Structure 1
Amino acid sequence: MAKDPVKPNVVVIYLDDLGYGDLSSYGATEISTPNIDVLANEGVKFTNGYATSATCTPSRYGLLTGVYPWRNPKAKILPGSAPLIITTEQETLPKVFKKAGYQTAIVGKWHLGLGAGNVNWNQHITPGPNEVGFEEAYILAATQDRVPTVYIDNGYVDGLDPKDPISVSYKKNFEGEPTGKDNPELTTLKWHHGHNNSIVNGIPRIGYMKGGEAAKWTDTDMADHFLKKAQTYVREHKNKPFFLYYALQQPHVPRTPHPRFVGKSGMGPRGDVILEADYVIGEFMKTLEKEGVLENTLIVFSSDNGPVLQDGYYDDAMEKIGDHTPAGKLRGGKYSLFDGGTRVPFMVYWKGIIKPKVSEALVCQVDLVASMADLIGVEADKTDSENILSAFLGKSKKGRKELVLEAGSKTSYRAGDWVMIPPYKGAKMSWHSFVESGINQEFQLYNLEKDPGELNNLAKSEPKKLQKMLTKFESIRGKDYSNIKK
């Protein structure tokens, strides 16, 4: 393809636990997301766009490295104290952009580990985003529901008072520190499962933390805080090509909308924070336009995995869902091997360059490394990432032919319109999140074009198709799935 004379800025906007059916542009009728809808309706809206995984850390690993996360046994949901799981030698999306002279930055959620183990939060924290390709990094270490509940600015805790050092543990509490389990009277949000350790801003978290009072974030201001950082970054770097990974925390728990958005959705805090995310994305787009870079900025929008309603707190997400279907026509959600776990909203927007289109091409976030390298004219190390730039730009109906998907270290295989889930032992329903796991002790085979809800298992009626897919799947995975696996 002919290269444009000016290399475009590239922004990846990444949401957290946003489902296939959570946007009005993807069919939601009970909630309206007009700003995000601009990206979908005026860009390429993919109906077969995937994260690599049904949970956060693995998907982010795949997005940034171009490597299937199941290849890295450490790519599982990480505690806030975990060491960095991307090696400093690995190819990464920001490194690809740096090869072409881009300035690179991340603003928002990281959740890929920091340091080399036993992090001292009161000193420079390394390695981290800065050591794997991001020249600027303003992040939260893990998730909003995990300690440490502080922002990290290029390896340093933002606003830390050295007289009040931070201590973090995921094993035992610090003496005298209240917890959600022992001190429910100090909480403003009731925990449902797991989230019953240190209390910050009235919210019980996962893990224990002591100190760092001046540096602790205010949950209800987080969306505005990250927005301002992203806007400032654009203003300061608009005169040179930049790559910005803008990783929002919504609608992950704890769902803490700013008072401006409380009650606006009628669906409780989960709906409110989706509206809040739509707002900040709209404000970010206004900044791109005001600074004169919108027409030279390619925007990729997606989510790290499918939706979940009950994920650790009682916040009315299940009680107030009404007629809204977070996964849309898909079965399952976060944590699930069914399509609702990994098929997510996915769109590519470039004002004036990309023509509005709905694409059925099979695309995955793992393909951004190879595809963006082609866009900006550099070579990327060979990984699982495929160059499907033409599909991303809406110039081709063809994406990748096949895809290995992952949920909880278990994998499935999609080829064309078909998906095969091998047999696994385990529970068919997640007891804590009330999401179907997709686990079954028999093979599952579905035709997603005819049966997007994965209700009609064709494994027994289509034995030749099943065997063909199984053979190819086993060749990729390097495992024998002919017997039921644990």
Structure 2
Amino acid sequence: MVLKKSILVLLFSVLLFTNYVNGQSNKPNVVVIYLDDLGYGDLSAYGATELNTPNMDVLANKGIKFTNGYATSATCTPSRFGLLTGVYPWRNKKAKILPGSAPLIITTKQETLPKMFKRAGYQTAIVGKWHLGLGAGNVDWNAHITPGPNEVGFDEAYILAATQDRTPTVYIKNGRVDGLDPKDPIFVSYKKNFEGEPTGKDNPELTTMKWHHGHNNSIVNGIPRIGYMKGGEAAKWSDVDMADHFLVKAQEYVKNHKKEPFFLYYALQQPHVPRTPHPRFVGKSGMGPRGDVILEADWVIGQFMKTLKDEGLLENTLIIFSSDNGPVLQDGYYDNAIEKLGKHTPAGKLRGGKYSLFDAGTRVPFMVYWKGTVKPQVSNALVCQIDLLASLASLTGVDADVNDSEDILSTLLGKSKKGRKSLVLEAGSKTSYRTGDWVMIPPYKGIAVSKNTSLETGISQEYQLYNLKKDVSEEHNLAKSNPKMLKKLLAEFEEIRGKDYSNIKKKY
């Protein structure tokens, strides 16, 4: 069976690499479009009835729509680490939600997606959100910042260092703050404020967006942020123009590199807080800023797809779309995301959301689109972003240090209905186990509902066992009624987690 699958993938790859002419490379371009906090139920292709996302829907309805597609974590930094390295984020103690001043958590010697593509002869780039740390500590933001994306495989990098709600609120181009005036140096701190600088906590009269929790430090464009910052006025971004700004950078990239195979990691900031839609989209959703920025993201993706078409690249480009974790409504600012939600269900029928061990924390929209090559279909196969490294290495025909990544190329291309057998998922350094239709959440100490987000965390001091095929909303805990299955999953889980989980287990 394994041999048959290998031959199938080999023959398919040979076919792909001989199908392209007209002066283009015979190697397909690869684009990963990655959204931030987009939920399983936020797309009309995934069942949303109150939001219409026609451009994202094209990727789902004319490509492969996976119904069991997962990020590795219920938060951003760990998921991005897993996607780029093929390593479970819980294996790296530094893979937590990082401040904007954090050092790089991917080592320069580590295998990454862009490094693999470079060995395959690809040009590589990231446009958008990074949030994996920069430098080696005590970054001088006025000099060349290294190591960063360029040192882990990206030829070109145009990024925001962390998140839109964190300092520094500037773009960084290939290791240097874009547009920085040397006469107005920039300083960043996550420990204390700079003398004379206003904050959201002390100067609410200077803010245009009210903070709910945590976001009460330096004020930029009327928005209080996490972290402190001084200087760099000319380099500060315009929040309402961010989506347009990154779109232009992504469009310029594909135009400049259309004669060679490229890998583009296009990491949009929507719908993460602060939700700052361009005036063109304000009020369009009727759901407040969160709904508006989802519509904005959909438009941006449509414009990017149009660029690929106009440049004659669409039929030679494999596009993978997903989100870094599940949805959250209240995540630091008062923006009416809850009050104006109406009938919309960001997580669909799933339970939980961002930060949660329940399924909505990590099960996300996951689509693969390749015009003329991938046939439209819906797949229930278990797939994960961590598998992109091994799978795309198989596509390009190069060797890679795949670690936890599994080669599911035939599944991603719609030639197989079988995905990975099992998956360890993470939320806040706590892990759960998914295999087949079953999910097991071990006992942990902690709160059941977050006071800040009002979301269920999935934490309980009792074992939890759910059959997702029969109970997608995880309402019926079968741990006590099916001890045999619980024991089986726990043994498999402990074999993967090893000593890491044994240490946790001893506490409870």
Superposition TM-score, scaled by structure 1 size = 0.99
User: Does structure 1 residue 134 correspond to structure 2 residue 159?
Assistant: no
Task: State how far apart, in whole Å, the 2-side matches of 1:482 and 1:461 are.
Answer: 24
Report whether the alignment pairs 1:365 with 2:385.
yes
**What is aligned with 1:196?**
216
* Aligned residues with identical type, % of pairs: 81
Distance 1:359 1:484 in 2: 39
Residue in structure 2 matched with residue 441 of structure 1 by the alignment: 461
Residue 146 (structure 1) shift? 0.1
Structure 2 residues not aligned, in runs of 5+ = 1-8, 19-25
Q: What amino acid does structure 2 have at the position aligned with 1:398? A: K
Return the alpha-carbon distance in structure 1 between the equivalents of residues 395 and 337 of structure 2.
40
> Which residue among 422, 425, 429 is the counterpart of 2:445?
425
Which of 476, 487, 491 pairs up with 1:471?
491
Query: What secondary structure sits across from 1:40 in the alignment?
Result: helix
| Structure 1 match to 2:421 | 401
User: Partners in 2 of 1:10 and 1:482 — Cα distance?
Assistant: 39
For 2:298 and 2:52, the matched residues in 1 are separated by 9
Q: How does 1:73-222 map to 2 (within 5 A)?
A: 73-222=93-242
* Deviation readout 1:354-392 (Å, 9 max, x if unpaired): 000000000000000000000111111130000000110
Note if contact 1:332-1:437 (Cα within 8 Å) is conserved in structure 2: yes
Gaps of 5+ in 1: none
- 1:249 paired to 2:269: yes
Question: How far apart are 1:7 and its partner, in Å?
Answer: 1.1
Cα deviations by residue, 1:222-271 (Å, 9 ceiling, x for unpaired): 00000000000000000000000000000000000000000000000000
CA distance in 1: counterparts of 2:504 and 2:282, whole angstroms = 51
Aligned-partner residue type, residue 363 of structure 1:
V
Q: Does 1:308 align with 2:328?
A: yes
Task: Report the number of matched residues.
Answer: 486
Alignment of 1:271-420 (within 5 A): 271-420=291-440
Report the counterpart of residue 48 of structure 1 in structure 2: 68
C-alpha separation in 1, matches of 2:180 and 2:371: 41
CA contact (8 A) 2:143 2:176 kept: yes
Q: Partner of 2:285 in structure 1?
A: 265
**Residue type at the aligned position of 2:325:** N
Shift of 1:480: 2.8
| 1:233 matched to 2:229 | no
Cα deviation, residue 481, structure 1: 7.7
- Helix, strand or coil: the match of 2:486? helix
Q: Could you list the per-position Cα deviations for residues 144-193 of structure 1 after superposition, in whole angstroms to 9, with x for gaps in the alignment?
A: 00000000000000000000000000000000000000000000000000
**2:21 matched to which residue of 1?**
none
Aligned to 2:477: 457
Which amino acid letter does the alignment assign opposite residue 364 of structure 2? V
CA distance in 1, matches of 2:506, 2:488: 18
SS in 2 for 1:451: coil
Residues in 1 aligned to 2:484 and 2:325: alpha-carbon distance in whole angstroms: 31
Q: What residue in structure 1 maps to residue 4 of structure 2?
A: none
Q: C-alpha separation between the residues in 2 aligned to 1:395 and 1:428?
A: 41
Question: Which residue identity lines up with residue 428 of structure 2 in the other structure?
Answer: G
| Separation in 2, partners of 1:180, 1:371 | 46
Match of 1:480 among 502, 505, 508: 502
Q: Alpha carbon RMSD of aligned pairs, Å? A: 0.9
Separation in structure 2 between the aligned mates of residue 357 and residue 481 of structure 1, nearest angstrom: 43
1:484 deviates by 7.0
Alpha-carbon distance in 2 for matches of 1:332, 1:395: 32
The equivalent position to 1:29 in structure 2, one of 49, 52, 61, is: 49
User: Does the C-alpha gap of structure 1 residues 156 and 483 become closer, same or farther in structure 2, counting only changes over 3 Å?
Assistant: closer
Determine helix, strand or coil for the equivalent of 2:327.
coil
Offset, 1:464:
0.5
The code of the aligned residue for 2:472 comes to P
Shift, 1:414, TM fit: 0.4
Q: 1:70 aligns with which of 84, 90, 104?
A: 90
